[in-house]
C-alpha cells in the first residue's frame, strides 16, 4: 500500500495559480478600469476610479451589475433616464463594454517585470503554472496571444464561463487542479491583486497571496509609482497590505518576483 508515504512525498508546493490583469500582465490593472469609466461616461454617468476598482476581479457582467447598484450611479441614471438601472441597462452596458475592452487589451497585456524569469524558475523546479481571470474566453485569446510574444505561457488558463462561475467562487481554481493534475489543495498557491483573488484562493483551500505593486488595489501604473512621493507611496502600500491581510491573505508581497522567497516558508508550513 502507498497512502501516507505518497501523501508526504506530495506535501510541497506543486502549483501556483496566477491572476492575469494587475498580477502577471497589465501593470496597474489599467485596461478594464479605463474601459468601465469610458462606458459609463458614454451614458453621461460620472463614476470614480475608486468605485470602479472596488469590484475588480469579478466577472465583468457581475462587476457592471455591482457598479449600477451603487447609490450614486443608480441616482444619476434615474435622474438622466427617468428610471433606475434594470436588466436591460446591464445588458446594454455589457454589450458596449466587451467590444471596447477588446480594442485595448493587446496594449495592456505585456507581462510585468520579473514575471517571465520567475515563471521559468518555477517551471524548472517542477511547479505547474495555472491561471484564473475575470475576463471571458474571447478576451483571454487576445491577452494570451500577446503575453506569449513575451514568453509568458502558463500551463493552464481557465475563464469564469468555462468553470461555471467566477471569483470569489473556487470553481476556476478547482478546474485548474483537474487540468494540471495537482492535489491536494494545500500544496497550491493562489496569487492575485484584488480582494476577490484573495477570497478565491481561501475558498479553494489554497494558500492565498496578494501582490501590491502593479495591483488594482494600489491602482498606480509603473510611471506613477516611479514618480510618486516616497512617503505617500509607502503609506498607500501599507494600506493595501492591511486590506489584503484583513481579508485573509496568508502572505502579501510588494513585487511578483518576491514570490520565490515565500515558497520555502509555505513548504515548511505544509509539513506541520
pLDDT of residue 59: 87
125 shares a domain with 260:
yes
Q: Could you give the residue numbers annotated as active site? A: 19, 60
68 shares a domain with 24:
no
Helix 87-104 and helix 137-149: axis angle, to 10°? 20
262 shares a domain with 157:
yes
Q: How far apart are CA 50 and CA 36, in angstroms?
A: 12
191 shares a domain with 246:
yes
Q: How far apart are CA 110 and CA 129, in angstroms?
A: 18
pTM for the model stands at 0.89
The count of residues in the chain is 272
SS3 83: coil
Q: What is the pLDDT of residues 48-93, one digit of tens each?
A: 999 999 898 888 899 999 999 999 999 999 999 999 999 999 999 9
75 shares a domain with 123:
no
pLDDT of residue 9: 54
Any idea what the CATH number is for the domain that residue 115 is in? 3.40.50.1000
32 close to 104: Cβ distance less than 8 angstroms: no
Please give the residue range of the domain that contains residue 100: 31-107
Residue that finishes a domain, picked among 107, 130, 164? 107
Angle at the Cα of 219 from the Cα atoms of 215 and 222, rounded to 5 degrees: 75
pLDDT of residue 272: 64
Count of structural domains within the chain = 2
248 shares a domain with 170:
yes
Residue that finishes a domain, picked among 48, 75, 107? 107
| DSSP assigned state of 254 | S
Alpha-carbon distances, residue 142 vs 56, 75, 247 (angstroms): 19, 36, 31
pLDDT of residue 11: 80
pLDDT of residue 1: 35
Q: How far apart are CA 202 and CA 173, in angstroms?
A: 10
Give the pLDDT of the chain (272 residues) as one tens digit per residue: 344 444 445 689 999 999 999 999 999 999 999 999 999 999 999 999 999 998 988 888 999 999 999 999 999 999 999 999 999 999 999 999 999 999 999 999 999 999 999 999 999 999 999 999 999 999 999 999 999 999 999 999 999 999 999 999 999 999 999 999 999 999 999 999 999 999 999 999 999 999 999 999 999 988 999 999 999 999 999 999 999 999 999 999 999 999 999 999 999 998 76
166 close to 59: Cβ distance less than 8 angstroms: yes
Q: How far apart are CA 133 and CA 154, in angstroms?
A: 13
Q: How far apart are CA 216 and CA 181, in angstroms?
A: 30
Amino acid at each position: 500500500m502507498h497512502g501516507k508515504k505518497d501523501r508526504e512525498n506530495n506535501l510541497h508546493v506543486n502549483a501556483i495559480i496566477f491572476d492575469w490583469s494587475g498580477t502577471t500582465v497589465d501593470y496597474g490593472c489599467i485596461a478594464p478600469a479605463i474601459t468601465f469609466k469610458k462606458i459609463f461616461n458614454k451614458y453621461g454617468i460620472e463614476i470614480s476610479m475608486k468605485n470602479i476598482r472596488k469590484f475588480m476581479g469579478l466577472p465583468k457582467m457581475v462587476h457592471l451589475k455591482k457598479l449600477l447598484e451603487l447609490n450614486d450611479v443608480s441616482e444619476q441614471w434615474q435622474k438622466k433616464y427617468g428610471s433606475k438601472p434594470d436588466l436591460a441597462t446591464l445588458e446594454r452596458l455589457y454589450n458596449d463594454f466587451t467590444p471596447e475592452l477588446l480594442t485595448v487589451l493587446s496594449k495592456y497585456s505585456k507581462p510585468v517585470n520579473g514575471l517571465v524569469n520567475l515563471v521559468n524558475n518555477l517551471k524548472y523546479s517542477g511547479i505547474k503554472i495555472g491561471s484564473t481571470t475575470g475576463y471571458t474566453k474571447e478576451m483571454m485569446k487576445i491577452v494570451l496571444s500577446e503575453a506569449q510574444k513575451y514568453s509568458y505561457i502558463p500551463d493552464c488558463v481557465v475563464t469564469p464561463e468555462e468553470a461555471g462561475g467566477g471569483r470569489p467562487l473556487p470553481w476556476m481554481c478547482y478546474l485548474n487542479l483537474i487540468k494540471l493534475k495537482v492535489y491536494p489543495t494545500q500544496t497550491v498557491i493562489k496569487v492575485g491583486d484584488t480582494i476577490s483573488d484573495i477570497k478565491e484562493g481561501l475558498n479553494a483551500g489554497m494558500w492565498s497571496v496578494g501582490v501590491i505593486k502593479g495591483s488594482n488595489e494600489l491602482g498606480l501604473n509603473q510611471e506613477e509609482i516611479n514618480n510618486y512621493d516616497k512617503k505617500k507611496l509607502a503609506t498607500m502600500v501599507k494600506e493595501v497590505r492591511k486590506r489584503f491581510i484583513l481579508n485573509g491573505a496568508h502572505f502579501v508581497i510588494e513585487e511578483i518576483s518576491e514570490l520565490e522567497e515565500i515558497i520555502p516558508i509555505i513548504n515548511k508550513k505544509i509539513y506541520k
